[in-house]
Amino acid sequence: MPRPALAASRAIDILNFMAAAPLRGYSLTELVRQLDLNPASCHALLGAMTRDGYLVRAQRGRVYRLGPALIAIGHAALQCHPVVAAARNQIALLSAELDMDSLLTARLDDRLIALASEGPGRLPGLAVGQRVPLIPPLGTPFLAWANDREVDSWLAKAAGAIDADRLRQSLAMVRQRGYAVTQRSPEQAATGLAVLGMAEEPLAGEWQKRVAERIGQMGEDYLMIEAQPDRLHPVMMISAPVFGDDGAVLCTLSLYGFDRPLPLSRIAALGEAIARHCRAASAIPGEPDKQINEVGRG
């Protein structure tokens, strides 16, 4: 049997892997190959997780899927984080109000994770459970209110050449507006394809490396800094932060799936609408929510 600490780590890897593509089922052979696990240890872990309801095994095809015990755990986790739970409700209201796709994202140390999504699904986006690295130029709504040490650490993780002053300027603009705007570009489109590919191979090293490389190639032009009022802007996403009681950013609400360029006035109206829903979520008392940004920090 594997060592207890190692077994726990492997079990977490299995759950994270399957959560990133929850509609798929995985055989023992696939999990062993994708996660580089010992076959005997993996078989023992799958058996234990299936007995406790964390996984279910289909007799036909002999594949494993996420089990019902995780639903109860998810509901319990939302009770621990009432502001995040409120934000989850707000993206549903936001999508219904604007008839657009919306996304709830949280920070897990040096990664971003999609917690929930709503909307008509006109364009593909990050799937719930998927994670992407928190490296420039991604994550400005989380970093705009961070301290200098956190910002410096974020800048140091860039996967390509960056203009640090330009990125700092973008953070200041996010603080000033109260929301972040990212622009659609060929580089962003290539990154989107790489991220969507991770839905098939959620933790595969090849995809992770490709995503990081693509993000690094997006550059500072991905961020809308100087917006010209007399032109249309090809918007990728508009995001605003949800704050906890201590002023830290707990999560972000985003709109995406824009099928045409937008004038600055429309961008501002959408940004204000998102910020309004974020304020509604932040108004929920939620002391335990302070702990969400400590995930992964030991």
CATH number at residue 152: 3.30.450.40
Asked if residue 184 lies in contact with residue 112, where contact means CB atoms within 8 angstroms, the answer is: no
The domain containing residue 258 runs over which residues?
A: 81-294
Check whether residue 127 and residue 14 sit in a common domain. no
Strands 131-133 and 249-256: unpaired
Boundary residue ending a domain (37, 53, 71):
71
Check whether residue 42 and residue 125 sit in a common domain. no
Q: Of 220, 232, 283, 280, which Cα lies nearest the Cα of 260?
A: 232
Contacts of 186 (CB under 8 A, 6+ apart): none
> What's the pLDDT at 39?
93
Check whether residue 236 and residue 165 sit in a common domain. yes
pTM passes above 0.75: yes
* 295 Cα distance to chain centroid: 14
* 40 Cα distance to chain centroid: 33
State the Cα–Cα distance between residues 230 and 227, nearest whole angstrom.
9
Which residues partner with 111 through β-bridges?
108, 133
Instruction: Look at residue 31 and tell me if it is in a domain.
Output: yes
Which residues partner with 233 through β-bridges?
262
CATH of the domain at 44: 1.10.10.10
Residue type, 87: A
State the Cα–Cα distance between residues 275 and 269, nearest whole angstrom.
10
Instruction: Look at residue 76 and tell me if it is in a domain.
Output: no
User: Tens place of pLDDT for every residue, the chain, 298 residues?
Assistant: 455 578 888 899 899 888 877 888 999 999 998 888 999 999 999 999 999 999 999 877 789 999 999 999 988 888 888 888 999 999 999 999 999 999 999 998 888 999 999 998 877 777 888 888 898 988 999 999 999 999 999 999 887 778 889 899 999 999 999 999 988 877 677 676 666 665 555 555 566 677 777 777 776 677 777 777 778 989 989 999 999 888 889 999 999 989 899 999 999 999 999 999 999 998 765 544 544 454 444 4
Tokens encoding 209: 């490396």
Check whether residue 120 and residue 191 sit in a common domain. yes
State the Cα–Cα distance between residues 261 and 242, nearest whole angstrom.
26
Boundary residue ending a domain (13, 43, 71):
71
Check whether residue 103 and residue 8 sit in a common domain. no
Check whether residue 161 and residue 287 sit in a common domain. yes
Residues comprising the chain, all counted: 298
State the Cα–Cα distance between residues 46 and 233, nearest whole angstrom.
49
DSSP symbols for the chain: ---HHHHHHHHHHHHHHHHTSTT--B-HHHHHHHHT--HHHHHHHHHHHHHTTSEEE-TTT--EEE-THHHHHHHHHHHH-HHHHHHHHHHHHHHHHHTSEEEEEEEETTEEEEEEEES---S--PPTT-EEE--TTTTHHHHTTS-HHHHHHHHHT-SS---HHHHHHHHHHHHHHSSEEEE--HHHHHHHHHHHHTTTSTT-HHHHHHHHHHHHHH-GGGB--S--TTSEE-EEEEEEEEE-TTS-EEEEEEEE---S-EEHHHHHHHHHHHHHHHHHHHTS--GGGGGGGGTT--
Check whether residue 135 and residue 218 sit in a common domain. yes
Q: Of 43, 39, 60, which Cα lies nearest the Cα of 51?
A: 43
> What's the pLDDT at 297?
45
CA distances from 30 to 6, 37, 204, 267 (A): 20, 10, 12, 44
